[in-house]
Amino acid sequence: MTGPRNVAVLGATGSIGRSTLDVIARHPHRFRAFALTAHSRSDELFELCVAHRPALAVLADEAQARVLRGRVAASGLPTEVLAGAQGLIAAAEHPEVACVMAAIVGAAGLAPTLAAARAGKKLLLANKEALVMAGPIFMAAVRTSGATLLPIDSEHNAIFQCLPERARGGVAGCGVRKIVLTGSGGPFRTRPLAGLAHVTPAEACAHPTWSMGRKISVDSATMMNKALEIIEAHWLFGAPASAIEILVHPQSVVHSMVEYADGSVIAQLGNPDMRTPIAQALAYPDRVDAGVASLDLARLAALTFEAPDFDRFRALALAYDVLAAGGTAPAIFNAANEVAVGAFLAGELAFPRITEVIEATLERVGADAVGRLEDVIEADARARSAAGVALGRAIVRTA
């Protein structure tokens, strides 16, 4: 009998990180929280260290890591504390870690997530931005190292479950007609367009069906989240853009589906609770309790579907343009969004301008081929500076 499997949770203090720790704590004989990482909140990470007693804790912020190290030492916890970008990578590729939950938000997660892929870990991918930015490099790293890549994004986890094993690394030649990504449409699906100029960050973050971090909540409100997921599905399942469709489904119960050449459609359903895909991937190929209630379809009574509104949600159309452009275009797309969402959350940018800033950045920064990781990192930097300029113009126009 082997002991519990060591898990590194990158982004442990976030929404996905905490849901992961909830599932781990339900199965102490199967899983152990071996390493926990966070950005700068030493108090929150300290509390998680007390609750889960990891061997390793990492804070990206060096000064806060020193604070944490002092508190950990004073409490007699068995936890080594590391700091900075190198500390995050050390947690991701630690030889005693079998499984890595990549749940840092945004481009900040690229280096440690890629390190886990290169180290051949069982890699649970929530950090979609890392894959969107560096798709070809990321997938090549997984193939070369033999890492097991399991999607956590609920849609991609659903598709993974709806595909036969041989199609999971690439659907070509497997009789798949299309992949249908469902999306709730977010909090502003039916809101009159004229009212969107004045929505607040709190309104944008109040998602109707999912409880998530602030950045992805805003992405859901613009449907940029679904746009990133189109690109994510393209890389994960080797599907051409023409075989990836979006379907609006406000109840978030059908998490996505696969249509086959013979007309069969296979869907995965469940309550909107991220502990389901997290538990599916952590235990894969077994099944374990995730703490999620049974789906009560009789009580729900009706599930509804509608076509996406490509005029209201410009980001969806942009995603297909970005995939057609290829190369560094997805990294530019992602970086511009991160800058615009940051400004919106800081109260500096009106909601409808988020997508305008992204579009202006795509027009200004040309896409190049991707050969090395440096190409992606350079494109990300150029896009951030161009988005900064677009942001300045958008703010002046609004004022």
Indicate the residue among 93 and 153 with the shorter CB distance to Mg ion. 153
Least Cβ distance, residue 103 to ligand NAD (angstroms): 5
353-372 b/e (C-beta count within 10 Å ≥ 16 → b): bbbbbbbbbbebbebbebee
153 binds Mg ion (CB under 5 A): yes
Nearest Cα residue to 278 out of 165, 153, 163: 153
Residue with smaller CB distance to ligand NAD, 105 or 394: 105
| Measured CA distances, 184 to 220, 247, 272, 303, 316 (Å) | 8, 9, 11, 11, 14
Interface segment toward Mg ion; rule CB under 5 A; list 38-46, 68-76, 149-157, 246-254:
149-157
Residue 225, token pair as written in the block? 């989240």
Which CB, 105 or 147, lies closer to ligand NAD? Answer: 105
Residue with Cβ nearer ligand NAD (14 or 308): 14
259 forms part of the interface with Mg ion (CB under 5 A): no
| Residue 338 interacts with Mg ion (CB under 5 A): yes or no | no
Tell me the residue type at 220.
S
Q: Which stretch binds Mg ion (CB under 5 A): 6-14, 150-158, 184-192, 281-289?
A: 150-158
Distance CA 353, CA 15 (A): 26
CB of 19 to ligand NAD, least distance (A): 7
Q: Are 256 and 156 in contact (CB under 8 A)?
A: yes
Minimal distance, residue 225 CB to Mg ion, in Å: 6
Least gap, CB of 88 to ligand NAD (angstroms)? 6
Give me the DSSP letters along 146-183.
T-EEEE-SHHHHHHHHHS-GGGTT--TTTTEEEEEEEE
Nearer to ligand NAD, 252 or 394 (CB): 252
Tell me the closest approach of the beta carbon of residue 56 to ligand NAD, in angstroms: 14
Of 42-50, 93-101, 152-160, 311-319, which segment contacts Mg ion by CB under 5 A?
A: 152-160
Residues 6+ apart with CB under 8 A from 127: 10, 11, 102, 103, 104, 105, 106, 109, 110, 113
DSSP state of 306: B
Contact between 350 and 395 (Cβ < 8 Å):
no
Contact between residue 63 and residue 93 where contact means Cβ atoms under 8 Å apart: no
Pick the piece of the chain touching Mg ion (CB under 5 A) from 28-36, 131-139, 153-161, 273-281.
153-161
In the complex, minimum distance from the CB of residue 254 to Mg ion, in angstroms, rounded to a whole number: 13
Least separation in angstroms between CB 292 and ligand NAD: 13
Q: Find residue 58's DSSP bridge partners.
A: 37, 82
Q: How far apart are CA 342 and CA 357, in angstroms?
A: 12
The binding site for ligand NAD (CB under 6 A) comprises 11-17, 38-39, 60, 103-105, 108, 126-129, 153, 210, 212-213, 215-216, 274
Q: Which does 120 bind (CB under 5 to 8 A by kind): ligand NAD, Mg ion, none?
A: none
Rank residues 155 and 259 by Cβ distance to Mg ion and give the closer one.
155
Site residues (CB under 5 A) for Mg ion? 153-155
